[in-house]
Amino acid sequence: MEGNTRRVVVIGGGVAGSLVAKSLQFTAHVTLIDPKEYFEITWASLRAMVEPYFGERTVINHKDYLVNGRVVTSAAINITDTEVLTAEGILIVYDYLVIATGHMDPSPKTRTERLNEYQAENQKIKSAQSILIVGGGPTGVELAGEIAVDFPDKKVTLVHKGSRLLEFIGPKAADKTLDWLKSKKIDVKLEQSVNLNSNSDESNIYQTSAGENIKADCHFLCTGKPLGSAWLKDTILKNSLDNHGRLMVDENLRVKGQRNIFAIGDITDIPETKQGYLAQKHALVAAKNVKILMDGDRVSKMATYRPGSAMAIVSLGRRDAVSQLPFTTIIGCIPGLIKSRDLFVGKVRKQLGLEAHPVHA
């Protein structure tokens, strides 16, 4: 690269971080900092639990798409006005910084280890006669749907502490989803929690907050994960975090008060539902704005980001889905055609410049 090439550091290799790094790799000296060696299409991970082979397409080594950048496999622990410090003590200088650390989701370091986890989870499902799912958000609902469709003989119980499922979207979508789950003989218990420590190895009995006993050979915890922003509380951005730990950004996705630091994805305070396709939109806006600043153009030329509308598609197995659109809610095979068959995996892979269906997968 030329000696005057600007240095862009991206912290976080999720759906937003990977796309912004890929988008800038031929116009800047890009360094991607991530604790793991791969990008994972997280919303497709539940399909890989019932069909481990699917994970071959959804777990992608960073170096497969970041062919002209540097990958540092570590966590970031501090930032200054000019540098990022990693957990290994490496200092990485930047001219522009993009923070995309999303939610905390402990994962193994290598792609092989992650694929082995899918195999283990699949074996766990296969060997169980009864399965407990804790959490009725999109993860819990989609996992219940995957198991119900692929393993219809399993006894599945879903316990959710809320008064309805999928609280991030409207009640109509929640009601339609509940009816669909019941049609697949899934036992849904609302307004209850489960003490996972109440199970003894001999009985496989779990007790709910309502005093009910649930027999389950295994369980999956599908509750929310904390934001990946705790490490910022002792950095120069400590005053840029809101009361929920989210980074406050302006309409150009720059951290408020900062000239050359951007934040994208779930870690931002943008008032919208946190979803993968919106994080991808953040990445493209941020990449465009970094290019504008690198070219020395006026700030007035920068792209603005407008919060997304309340749209969502939650897959229900391989054929069906529930979709909330601005003016209606649909459930069944029509929204299923949009998402459930491939879970947008081919589309994401193409965005990263990869084959939708790699030969080795």
| Tens digits of residue pLDDT in 126-135 | 999 999 999 9
H helices present in the chain, as ranges: 15-24, 45-50, 55-58, 62-65, 111-127, 138-150, 171-183, 276-294, 333-338, 345-351
Which DSSP symbol is given to 249? B
Query: Residue 239 is encoded by which pair of tokens?
Result: 């005053």
At 4 the pLDDT is 67
What's the pLDDT band for 269 if we cut at 50, 70, 90? Answer: very high
Average pLDDT over the chain reads 95
What's the pLDDT band for 361 if we cut at 50, 70, 90? Answer: very low
Strands 130-134 and 155-160: parallel
115-121: average pLDDT: 98
What's the pLDDT band for 199 if we cut at 50, 70, 90? Answer: confident
Is the pLDDT assigned to residue 295 strictly greater than 80? yes
At 198 the pLDDT is 75
At 5 the pLDDT is 84
Q: Report how far residue 160's alpha carbon sits from residue 18's, in angstroms, rounded to the nearest whole number.
A: 32
What's the pLDDT band for 308 if we cut at 50, 70, 90? Answer: confident
Is the pLDDT assigned to residue 343 strictly greater than 50? yes
At 201 the pLDDT is 63
| Tens digits of residue pLDDT in 24-64 | 999 999 999 999 999 999 999 999 999 999 999 999 999 99
Taking phi over 0 as left and psi of -120 to 50 as alpha, with beta for the rest, 306 belongs to beta
Q: For 136-150, 246-260, 307-321, which range has the lowest pLDDT when averaged over its residues? A: 307-321
Do the Cβ atoms of 208 and 198 come closer than 8 Å?
A: no
At 174 the pLDDT is 95
At 123 the pLDDT is 98
| Tens digits of residue pLDDT in 157-196 | 999 999 999 998 889 999 999 999 999 999 999 999 998 8
